[in-house]
Amino acid sequence: MSITLPGPTLGVVGGGQLGRMLGEAAAPLGVDLVVLDPTPDCPAAPVAADQIVGDFDDADAIDELAARVDALTFEIELADPAVLAAASEEHGVPVHPDPGTLETIQDKLVQKEALADAGISVPEFVAVATAEGLERVVEEFGGVMLKAREGGYDGRGNVPVETPEEAADALDAVGGAAMAEEFLDFEREIAVMGLKGADGETRTYPVTETVHWEEILRESVSPARAGDAVVAEAESVARDVLDVLDGRGVYGIELFETKGGEVLVNEIAPRPHNSGHWTIEGARTSQFENHVRAVLGWPLGPTDLVAPAVTANVLGDVDERESATLRNVETVLDAPDADLHWYGKDDVYPLRKMGHLTVTERSDDDADRDALLLRARELRDGLTFRDA
């Protein structure tokens, strides 16, 4: 392959924070982004060459996007696989990851069935459609995590159900067809950012530990504070997952480490993922740059760790939606070991992801990750959207 600059134009369905960071990574490569998003002046707009305002499944808007770019990708699972495939064929523009992979992943039940059929270890799961059925499953499993089959994200669409009496309300909360998973007594949650490039090449980033509260990712710790055997198993499982999926790009593979040291797949995202934001400062090539490279069929960048890193999400600490003004930013800017990323969202509401910061230790590969985590939390907790 002969690559020349200026480079091609990449079309991205979705212009949120992931689109913004894709644009930031694409620019040094000479690659322009055109993003499609329903929100005018979306977070990615300042770093993109242009934005098409339209819904993620708007066939006309996606057709317009495909006509203007050299390759297509997406940063949100709400993209319509059939519409993407049709636009790709109409304009002779490749789309990655493959729309078929997106279709499989969009439905959490279908996703789990595909993994189980491939012999990949997952928690016990079952489809549920009625309160009576869920009551039986709760009794059998001794409690479950109920998940909406489609549309859930950032913990939304996930409802813990501990007793049969909670079944009806839980089904109402997820809004219809759902999947119930057994409650796991897990040691920690971990993740691997997997990467598929041209000619079937695959790579993985170092295993990351993810810290959740109220079903929302709060921090990530890289490398994970897990034993060598668990790390090796997580890497092996991630490679098995990549073998099941079609299409180039980055995949966020979320995992459980059980108390017994087993590694089970939780969920997969066919795109860059919050669990991999640490790679911007902590890896040789960020997940965003490698996603751009992979989708375009360019050589992949190294995924090696260059510094232990802890990322802390900056979430909305307000009581209701309001205009976003982040305060005390100087406390992070004054810190020599921290990097701040602002997502450019105009409004903040409770628990909305507004940005993140990453603390790195560049002087010692054996850095105390507990201390890094405490440092990241201290800096993050000093930021606020509330008036003094």
Locate the domains of the chain by residue range: 9-95, 124-182, 186-381
Band the pLDDT of 363: cuts 50, 70, 90: low
Mean pLDDT of 231-237: 97
Is there a contact between 257 and 3 (Cβ–Cβ < 8 Å)?
no
Token digits of residue 311? 């990322």
Is there a contact between 47 and 342 (Cβ–Cβ < 8 Å)?
no
What is the SS3 string spanning 138-174? HHHHCCEEEEECCCCECCECEEEECCHHHHHHHHHHH
Bridge partners of residue 146, in order along the sequence:
159, 180
Band the pLDDT of 357: cuts 50, 70, 90: very high
Three-state DSSP at 386 gives: coil
Is there a contact between 110 and 89 (Cβ–Cβ < 8 Å)?
no
Q: pLDDT of 269-326, one tens digit each?
A: 999 999 999 999 999 999 999 999 999 999 999 999 999 999 999 999 999 999 999 9
Q: pLDDT of 200-214, one tens digit each?
A: 899 999 999 999 998
Angstrom distances, CA of residue 376 to CA of 17, 59, 310: 20, 42, 7
* Residue 43 dihedral angles phi and psi, to the nearest 5°: -55, -30
Q: Per CATH, is 9-95 categorized as 3.40.190.170? A: no
- Range ranked top by mean pLDDT from 14-18, 150-154, 179-183: 14-18
* Residue 280 dihedral angles phi and psi, to the nearest 5°: -60, -45
Percent of the chain residues topping a pLDDT of 90 = 88
Rounded CA-CA distance 276/269 in Å is 11
Rounded CA-CA distance 42/62 in Å is 17
Residues in the chain, how many? 388
pTM, two decimal places: 0.95
Look at residue 119 in the predicted model and tell me its pLDDT: 97
- The string of DSSP codes covering 316-334 is --SSS-EE---B-THHHHT
Mean pLDDT of 84-93: 97
Per mean pLDDT, which range of 112-116, 150-154, 286-290 is the poorest?
A: 150-154
Closest CA to 245 of 262, 267, 223, 277: 267
Angstrom distances, CA of residue 126 to CA of 108, 179, 248, 334: 11, 6, 30, 50
Q: Other CB atoms closer than 10 Å to residue 369's CB: what's the count?
A: 18
Token digits of residue 31? 């690659």
End-to-end Cα separation, the chain, in angstroms: 56
Say which CATH topology domain 186-381 has: D-amino Acid Aminotransferase; Chain A, domain 1 (3.30.470)
Is there a contact between 311 and 357 (Cβ–Cβ < 8 Å)?
yes
Architecture of domain 124-182: 2-Layer Sandwich (3.30)
Token digits of residue 307? 């510094």
Is there a contact between 73 and 113 (Cβ–Cβ < 8 Å)?
no
Mean pLDDT of 347-364: 90
Look at residue 158 in the predicted model and tell me its pLDDT: 87
Look at residue 155 in the predicted model and tell me its pLDDT: 62
Look at residue 366 in the predicted model and tell me its pLDDT: 53
How many Å separate Cα 302 from the centre of its chain?
Answer: 20
Per mean pLDDT, which range of 58-67, 147-156, 258-267 is the poorest?
A: 147-156
Q: Other CB atoms closer than 10 Å to residue 235's CB: what's the count?
A: 17
Rounded CA-CA distance 48/299 in Å is 23
